[in-house]
């Protein structure tokens, strides 16, 4: 029965910052075990949308349901239940500076699930191995890691609690093409092994093509196109066409101040 409804359903989502309307009626469904990638220019509200689903930002209007449970305006208990289902890889990895790598990875297990340190460390090392990092990395501090290693640790932390949904915020930003491909492979592998639903946001079309089942484009506060990865190269939509080919000329005008 649950398979008939989307894992995440977003309807009419509106979010403003002062007078600036960032999301202006977003509608999107993400199915069970589906990997959806949101593309769109900088400042179009992709990260804001993720933060609304996570409950980090409160939208002005609209509905967000996770497993049929309304998140917008929900109480503490519902928010906590929903947030336990979700893992997130942040753009800059957002690792806690004051903790070692393994403590970062097992943070959710120890703090939210009350797991003991010995068992949590064992799981953290397993998750680090799953993203290609050895035990020697576990005791390092985040400041000692390269950008690619930080992303891997962030990914290990996101999957440590075996979440049902994983959000990826710009998983390949700031990485070289080879490391980007490594991260893309890890994202695909992790989502597949966990049987999780994935929602990613990226500017990187190579990444989007690799990790998505379906791509949606956000522009001017709305989803202007959504469809399977294979269809994106044949879309009769000037906005999508301009974005995926990275052309300066077209209907999308970038705000450039002299």
Q: Which residues bind other proteins (CB under 8 A)?
A: 51, 54-56, 80, 83-84, 86-88, 90-92, 94-97, 107-108, 111-112, 157
Q: How far is the CB of 76 from other proteins (least distance, A)?
A: 9
Shortest distance in whole angstroms from residue 108 CB to other proteins: 4
Shortest distance in whole angstroms from residue 96 CB to other proteins: 6
Residue number with CB closer to other proteins (83 or 100): 83
Beta carbon of residue 37, minimum distance to other proteins (angstroms, whole number): 19
- For other proteins, the closer of residues 138 and 215 by Cβ is 138
> What sign does the dihedral 248-253-257-258 (CA atoms) show?
positive
Taking the least distance from each CB to other proteins, the nearer of 83 and 214 is 83
Q: How far is the CB of 46 from other proteins (least distance, A)?
A: 14
**Considering beta carbons, is residue 25 or 55 the nearer one to other proteins?**
55
């Amino acid at each position: 029965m649950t398979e008939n409804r989307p894992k995440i359903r977003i309807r009419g989502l509106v979010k403003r910052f002062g007078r600036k309307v960032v999301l202006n009626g977003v509608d999107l469904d993400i199915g069970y075990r589906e990997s959806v990638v949101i593309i769109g220019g900088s400042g179009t509200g992709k990260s804001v949308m993720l933060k609304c689903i996570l409950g980090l930002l409160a939208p002005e209007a609209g509905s967000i349901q996770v497993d049929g449970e309304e998140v917008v305006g929900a109480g503490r208990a519902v928010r906590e239940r929903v947030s336990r289902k979700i893992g997130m890889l942040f753009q800059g990895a957002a690792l806690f500076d004051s903790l070692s790598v393994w403590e970062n990875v097992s943070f959710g297990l120890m703090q939210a699930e009350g797991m003991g340190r010995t068992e949590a460390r064992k799981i953290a090392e397993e998750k680090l191995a799953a993203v290609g990092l050895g035990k020697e990395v576990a005791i390092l501090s985040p400041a000692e890691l390269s950008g690619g290693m930080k992303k891997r640790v962030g990914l290990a932390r996101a999957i440590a609690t075996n979440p049902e949904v994983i959000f990826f915020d710009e998983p390949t930003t700031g990485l070289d093409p080879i490391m980007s491909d490594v991260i893309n492979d890890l994202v695909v592998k992790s989502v597949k092994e966990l049987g999780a639903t994935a929602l990613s946001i990226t500017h990187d079309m190579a990444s989007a093509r690799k990790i998505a089942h379906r791509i949606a484009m956000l522009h001017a506060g709305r989803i202007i196109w959504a469809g399977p990865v294979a269809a994106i190269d044949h879309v009769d939509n000037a906005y999508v066409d301009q974005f995926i080919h990275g052309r300066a000329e077209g209907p999308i005008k970038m705000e450039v101040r002299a």
